[in-house]
Structure 1
């Protein structure tokens, strides 16, 4: 299927490379990198695959260039500018270029290690510019706290590509800027003692061993990047024995998602049962999700990125479970702030969850002594701040 504005067959426009990048960005974002072939991208711009290879040596390099192209508008905005002047343009870039978060967090895992590291370095540099601007505006901040706040503000902006929020663009921009400013003005929590690392024990039952092995493999390589044989080998189970417990890789993924949903709901019910009022309930629910995401980040990863590989029968239950969980957050927030428009409340919930997820994915941030209490505090500010 060709994209709108694709050049006629047989022509050679001067901006062919840019057209290829734009078409690939759209296809990778909508369908997923592994589901898109070089022929698909070539067809979208009315060229043969051989013409595409004149510009890119392979699909992986094309994905790397796509992610860098989506990142470029943000790099242009943050370069050597004061924070107050930067923020409106940064929000505008997020609204005008919403695909970066999905392409980086969901699709870039398919990149070779060197390409992935190169893009990670670019993101670190962008965050460094944000942290420097924040330090210039708040010189009393500790540099490590400035970096944590900068990453959190960046995570707020990335909700645009992950979630559909039906707000007028101007109203959405105003809300995003307000949320980012709230984060950047926050006071980080004091350091807390770090808990001792626990090695833990592997389950003995073969079915549980397969589940325990599958989840990190799905998270690291994606559903299409591993086989049942890979999972069996990681679990120490060889040959057809794997299929005695799960009929297919899809069934294994579904079971893992159902298991994580049950754990998450158990944590939610425990948080709600201990609450004294709606505000206390929302705070406890948010705190419990931080703990869950940090302890079970691979479950969060596959929930966000791999559920699309479920069957047509399985997918509705997974979607319904996510919607019901989000509805609990939204209900509590509306109980506390009944004057808040529904779509603004929904955007705040998505922003809080995005901040928590992004924090849980970032091992370097998690290791800081004050990181956990600070993220819990920031999530509360995003939800309930004025």
Structure 2
């Protein structure tokens, strides 16, 4: 649980021992060091998913109808494991950064096998889908199920299963034909390639330059692997020069989170104001979120990956800003689906946020086609079929609104 919530570096063996009610020396009798425990926990997560889906993956399918039935079983099995291991399965987001090569290969190949199992079934279910697009659809569906491990919103388990599986199926059934005909996502390729934040002017102050450098380094290497000397070197300062602007590396991290949070809130408010109907407002929110994520992908990577490294007071302040941002989305989503309560709406929205964050690491280029795909993914999860539009047509496996 500690690794899932906080990552690797902030967690000590004493923290883990305290969480399970034993002493640190007793924990060392089972694991020689913290890394061994981290690696075993990460591999156990993927093995649990593989064990749960091994039987259904072996069922032969020869028609779309059979494939859909088998896919439904696999989705249900994965969903069950993700819910049951919610407190620990979030470790998957840290594995790529902290696992050593041999363990990383083992971990990645395990998730690759899980994806291949669903991919093979989906190929029979929807043989018309392009193989590359199928890869994104299958990965997105599995991310939708795993999104529950990235937040702590409480919803009754039966309803939670409905919400997660509805999101997964909205992607597996998504038609992307229109995206091959038009790239009109509104993200200029040059802006995306530059990864320049829209909130920072070209002639940025030295303080803003330090935040820019910190974001780039934190996104590329992780907060704990970056030194003050490296940050200073990026802007031609001595390490002591940083302290004229910030109290230290933790203050730089919080300044980066302040930038991201202010940007997200400002962008959401602007998008909300552009629509004249609830559906239009929600579409504007998803479009602006994807577009700006592409324009500063480094900032968004850092935003999702480094929250555990904030000081306690900074983390509480960030949480308030996150709630302000989320409340804008919840209001818009509940205008479309009045029967959703706030927590159910939050589950759907976190699914979209996690999906976009995870797929940022998959796309080979931040271009119009990639942005249009993610906008379609988000709209498929959040919008009713009648309002989704030609690029976002879905088959709703489970209704969003609770059964009366």
Instruction: Compute the TM-score of the two structures, normalised by the length of structure 2.
Output: 0.79
Tell me, yes or no, if the aligned pair for 1:286 and 1:380 is still in contact at 8 Å.
Answer: yes
**Residue 380 (structure 2) aligns with:** 381
What is the distance in 1 between the residues matched to 2:15 and 2:322? 31
**Deviates most, 211-220 or 112-121:** 112-121
**Residue 163 (structure 2) aligns with:** 175
**Residue 93 (structure 1) aligns with:** 81
**Residue 84 (structure 1) aligns with:** 72
**Residue 4 (structure 2) aligns with:** 29
What is the distance in 2 between the residues matched to 1:229 and 1:59? 27
Is 1:260–2:271 an aligned residue pair?
no
Q: CA deviation at 1:31?
A: 4.5
Alignment of 1:133-212 (within 5 A): 133-188=121-176, 189-191=178-180, 192=182, 196-197=189-190, 200=194, 205-212=205-212
**Residue 387 (structure 2) aligns with:** none
**Deviates most, 252-261 or 194-203:** 194-203
**Residue 282 (structure 1) aligns with:** 282
Tell me, yes or no, if the aligned pair for 1:71 and 1:100 is still in contact at 8 Å.
Answer: no
Q: CA deviation at 1:242?
A: 1.7
**Residue 319 (structure 1) aligns with:** 319
Q: CA deviation at 1:381?
A: 2.0
Pair 1:102–1:216, CA change in 2 (3 A): farther
**Residue 221 (structure 1) aligns with:** 221
**Residue 64 (structure 2) aligns with:** none
Pair 1:89–1:376, CA change in 2 (3 A): same
**Residue 230 (structure 2) aligns with:** 230
What is the distance in 2 between the residues matched to 1:187 and 1:343? 29
**Residue 14 (structure 1) aligns with:** none
What is the distance in 2 between the residues matched to 1:143 and 1:368? 19
Secondary structure of the residue that 2:179 maps to in structure 1? coil
**Residue 297 (structure 1) aligns with:** 297
Q: CA deviation at 1:240?
A: 1.1
Pair 1:246–1:342, CA change in 2 (3 A): closer
Tell me, yes or no, if the aligned pair for 1:100 and 1:161 is still in contact at 8 Å.
Answer: yes
**Residue 16 (structure 1) aligns with:** none
What is the distance in 2 between the residues matched to 1:271 and 1:72? 42
**Residue 123 (structure 1) aligns with:** 111
Q: CA deviation at 1:370?
A: 3.9
> Could you report, residue by residue, the CA deviation over 1:193-221 in whole angstroms, capped at 9, with x for unpaired residues?
59544665885643222111111222333
What is the distance in 2 between the residues matched to 1:34 and 1:107? 12
Q: CA deviation at 1:51?
A: 3.0
The number of residues matched between the two structures is 357
Tell me, yes or no, if the aligned pair for 1:203 and 1:209 is still in contact at 8 Å.
Answer: no
Pair 1:378–1:117, CA change in 2 (3 A): same
Q: CA deviation at 1:85?
A: 2.4
**Residue 349 (structure 1) aligns with:** 349
Q: CA deviation at 1:227?
A: 2.3
Tell me, yes or no, if the aligned pair for 1:152 and 1:355 is still in contact at 8 Å.
Answer: yes
Pair 1:325–1:51, CA change in 2 (3 A): same
> Could you report, residue by residue, the CA deviation over 1:65-112 in whole angstroms, capped at 9, with x for unpaired residues?
211101112122344243132122121111112246521214652233
**Residue 51 (structure 1) aligns with:** 29
Is 1:132–2:120 an aligned residue pair?
yes
Pair 1:359–1:74, CA change in 2 (3 A): same
Q: CA deviation at 1:313?
A: 3.9
What stretches of structure 2 of length at least 5 have no aligned partner?
Answer: 59-69, 197-201, 385-398, 400-404
**Deviates most, 183-192 or 275-284:** 183-192
Q: CA deviation at 1:41?
A: 4.8
Secondary structure of the residue that 1:314 maps to in structure 2? helix
What stretches of structure 1 of length at least 5 have no aligned partner?
Answer: 1-25
Secondary structure of the residue that 1:35 maps to in structure 2? coil
Pair 1:92–1:312, CA change in 2 (3 A): closer
Tell me, yes or no, if the aligned pair for 1:98 and 1:160 is still in contact at 8 Å.
Answer: yes
Q: CA deviation at 1:50?
A: 5.6
Q: Tell which has more relative contact order, 1 or 2 (C-alpha 8 A, sep 6+).
A: 2
